[in-house]
Structure 1
Amino acid sequence: MNNKVLIVDDEHEIADLVEVYLKNENYTVFKFYSAKDALACIETTEIDLAILDIMLPDMNGFTLCQKIREHHAYPIIMLTAKDDETDKITGLTLGADDYITKPFRPLEMIARVKAQLRRYKKYNMVQKAGITDSIIVHSGLVMNIKTHECLLNEKELILTPTEFAILQILLEKKGKVVSAEELFHEIWKDEYYSKSNNTITVHIRHLREKMGDTVENPKYIKTIWGVGYKIET
């Protein structure tokens, strides 16, 4: 079955270009130039990944992202019109998994789409396979990889798929330092990492906020400056 990708961008040339490249990869594409039309599709169609522009005529991409996250866990990639750090952080905070800055290289966009779909399918396969050894317990933290649920001190911890993936990697490599680059490649598996890319940093910050952790006195995620991140044994 072909993956179904939603594109929402009011710039027709960009939306049309993205559609062409995705169709060349045999994806089924649902393309819209407004959020209203996209929402109607979301309610009736099973989507595997969404690409959302931030600047839309009837509703900004952040609000659309929030509406998707109310009912769906599939990956969301935000398109930002400029290299604006605030837009990137806002998108990730509201549940987006990645962002691409315009203008972008189509091949980079395809690489990011493929990476997100691989990760999403991996988690779905784990859930359907009924794997028994799927519980990780650490200091009041209980992660169920099979059901994709996480508890902290018996209270549900609401994580985005990317936050869940980062925490899972750190827990599985407990006691070892994991670099931002290693985390990036474990999750996205593409070649477009650079030291100036702070995607992992932003996700770690949100994880800490949700877990009540701090940089100064961390109980869970410890920063090893200049090296990476670590959860102590």
Structure 2
Amino acid sequence: MENNPRILVVDDEDRIRRLVRMYLEREEYFVDEAEDGEQGLKLALENNYDVILLDLMMPGKDGLEVCKEIREQKATPVIMLTAKGEEANRIQGFEVGTDDYIVKPFSPREVVLRVKALLRRSSSATFVNTNNSSKDMLEFTHLLIDNDAHRVLADGTEVGLTPKEYELLYFLAKAPDKVFDREQLLKEVWKYEFFGDLRTVDTHVKRLREKLNKVSKEAAKMIVTVWGVGYKFEVAND
């Protein structure tokens, strides 16, 4: 039980917290609750959670503010809970570092499936191989991706990425010059077996480029937009 995932549920509606908690505890997850953004942020920064479920619209500090402040210190995967009419806010959520979102009203079983999918991706991304003779590493002129250590170096400087940004970069870099459309990336990187917002991909690509660009403009240029299709990882001939 010690290694069971620990989940934080932040929502100002007691009914939703109780319902989500009940379904997550059936999966033998440890669940903590917070009834507002301030309390949620405090718990998120003081503890190491595997996933945070974060309501967007709350009195006081809202989900966007909480996610932004979490991202300044931690890369904990975040699933935003939003209402149907908050599409623009969902896009803002991706901009500040949200990994996924669920639209209210939702099925508790969907929440469990989304959490499980995010846990699978996070655990595979942070896996460390102790066998040094078989390093899982991708090396390019301006970029090094060490998948065993879950590290990215651009021109020798480490780049701090969230789990989802790292997964996206690693997936593209494993197939240089191959073009992937947004639907493919949602399926392969986000593991969506259901419909997802295609702009999820666009916002993550934008953030990934911005982080790489701060360290190496050449590394950032390797993520190329293929207009009308999708994205590819382009290796410079130098």
**Shorter-chain TM-score tier:** 0.7 to 0.9
Distance 1:36 1:209, change over 3 A: closer
The two structures have a TM-score, normalised by structure 1, of: 0.85
Q: Say whether residues 1:203 and 2:175 are aligned partners.
A: no
Counterpart Cα distance in 1 of 2:96 and 2:130: 30
Name the aligned partner's letter for residue 200 of structure 1: V
Is the partner of 1:127 in helix, strand or coil? coil
- Check whether the contact 2:225–2:232 (CA below 8 A) recurs between aligned residues: yes
Partner of 2:40: 38
| Deviation for aligned residue 1:43 | 4.6
Residues 77-134 of structure 1: CA deviation (Å, up to 9, x unaligned) = 111223433312222222221112222232222221111101111123x226455423
Which of the numbers 46, 66, 88 marks the counterpart of 1:64?
66
Partner of 2:142: 140
Residues 176-225 of structure 1: CA deviation (Å, up to 9, x unaligned) = 2223222222233231135x532112211222333349xxxx83122334
Equivalenced residues, count:
227
Name the aligned partner's letter for residue 178 of structure 2: K
- RMSD (Å) for aligned C-alpha atoms: 2.4
Partner of 1:165: 167
Counterpart Cα distance in 1 of 2:130 and 2:103: 37
- Check whether the contact 2:94–2:204 (CA below 8 A) recurs between aligned residues: yes
Counterpart Cα distance in 2 of 1:79 and 1:222: 31
Q: Say whether residues 1:178 and 2:180 are aligned partners.
A: yes
| Deviation for aligned residue 1:160 | 1.6
Distance 1:44 1:202, change over 3 A: closer
| Deviation for aligned residue 1:30 | 0.6
Partner of 1:127: 128
Distance 1:232 1:197, change over 3 A: closer
Counterpart Cα distance in 2 of 1:231 and 1:39: 36
Partner of 2:110: 108
Is the partner of 1:143 in helix, strand or coil? strand
- Check whether the contact 1:5–1:27 (CA below 8 A) recurs between aligned residues: yes
Distance 1:130 1:119, change over 3 A: farther
- Which consecutive aligned stretches of 4+ in structure 1 deviate over 6 angstroms post-superposition? none
Which of the numbers 186, 189, 200 marks the counterpart of 1:187?
189
The two structures have a TM-score, normalised by structure 2, of: 0.83
Counterpart Cα distance in 2 of 1:41 and 1:210: 27
Stretches of structure 2 lacking an aligned partner (at least 5 in a row):
215-219
Between 162-171 and 41-50, report the one with greater CA deviation.
Answer: 41-50
Distance 1:135 1:79, change over 3 A: same
Between 31-40 and 3-12, report the one with greater CA deviation.
Answer: 31-40
- Check whether the contact 1:115–1:187 (CA below 8 A) recurs between aligned residues: no
